[in-house]
Amino acid sequence: MLPLLLIALLAAVPAVAGVKTGIEVLEAQGFAPLKDKRVGLITNHTGVTPDYRCTIDLLAHAPGLRLTAIFTPEHGISGVRDDAHIESDRDEATGVPIYSLYNLSQPKPEKPEQGPLLGRQEEERGRRFRPADEMMRDVDALVYDIQDIGARFYTYITTLGYMVEEAGRRKIPFYVLDRPNPVNGVAVEGPLLDEQYVSFVGYIPMPIRHGMTVGELARMYNGEKKLGADVHVIQMEGWRRGQWMDETGLPWINPSPNMRSLVQAILYTGVCLLESRQVSVGRGTDTPFQMVGAPWFKSAEMADYLNARRVPGVRFIARRFTPNASVFKDQQCEGVEVLLTDRKALRSVTAGLEMVAAVLKLNPGKFDVAGIMRLLGNDATAARLKAGDDPRQIAKSWKSGLNAFRKIRARYLLYK
């Protein structure tokens, strides 16, 4: 029998919920929705069960279907590539072809695809982020199983949108094996993306922090863009909107090379607003998205200034670091480390806005807001930053846009 004190202590520890992901639910269904289908799977290393069985293997050996193609997003099938030239390959275990949807070395088509579904970057690059016809020849159903992190500019959800388009255009069903939004599915924050900034890092006008799962996003993309796809979501069991990833019972798997912890995912939607050729956001260090800096930064002044602003949920300390990759590789940078102190109090996008405003104020002439517009994506917010407006007041100006987005979003939510 357990001692009474130990029983009391165990009772005081909140239970971690056991969330069942879409691939687990599909397996429990005997893969019935995919019966008699030739399946193209959009996935990477995050497509696994909690006991690390790979979705590729599960579908390859599932009865009543054929896995005929694998499609991979940015960073490739292993999720560790951090370059723009990821080649197609073949899965050694199954022999199934792996088609890269992220290879910027491919030649530009003579007649790039045009139209409202493509942003300016994609008009220039044509099909480099989309499957060619020959890749889809033996596919009559698409399945998506990739872990997202809840940010508008994370490219996996643009790949999701492009493949929903392909399903609609080809009149084949599209299945999403749903997974949690790791930074919770409640918080919605940031300026809406202006239409002119739609690109591979911004698929649809929505706020930076969208508070949706990939299944819900697929439904919204299909409905709002009238893509005509036959979208099915294999829903999770046991997930609640307010949960963070460490409350789901699911393992953390780095979804990309520079997203190495839940803390970094939480900070990402704010810190990434500084990412440009002008500022390092910690790529090439052990703690990407937990620090920002440049050789010309005023570390102490910035830390003192931001701490005096009392930004909820974070503190700032002066740091000196030398990235071994990316912006300012092998150059010593002055900067600040962002310490997460209260994730519930944090408004990450507003915190990012505070950092942008601080850099502009303390380093006049060193930072150009134009360099972050593909990520910020909102001209009104940019104009107010350049004018020196208070970040808190700028954040208040997002209210009407966020309210309008929430009304749209509500039509596509699947979980409470």
Could you read off the pLDDT of 216-248 as tens digits, one per residue? 999 999 999 999 999 999 999 999 999 999 999
* Intervals of the chain under pLDDT 50: 1-15, 109-126
Alpha-carbon distances, residue 38 vs 30, 139, 164, 309, 410 (angstroms): 16, 5, 17, 56, 33
**What span, in angstroms and rounded, lies between the C-alpha atoms of 329 and 225?**
40
**What span, in angstroms and rounded, lies between the C-alpha atoms of 271 and 191?**
15
Residue 342 contacts residue 285 (beta carbons within 8 Å): no
pLDDT at 13: 38
pLDDT at 17: 54
pLDDT at 127: 53
**What span, in angstroms and rounded, lies between the C-alpha atoms of 214 and 146?**
8
pLDDT at 289: 98
pLDDT at 85: 87
Alpha-carbon distances, residue 233 vs 73, 143, 207, 220, 364 (angstroms): 20, 10, 23, 12, 49
pLDDT at 135: 97
Task: Look up residue 192 and give its DSSP letter.
Answer: P
pLDDT at 115: 36
Q: Which domains does the chain have, with CATH numbers?
A: 22-253 (3.40.50.12170), 262-377 (3.90.1150.140)
The three-state secondary structure class of 338 is: strand
What's this model's pTM, rounded to 2 decimal places?
0.92
Amino acid residing at 28: A
Residue whose structure tokens are 């397996």:
27
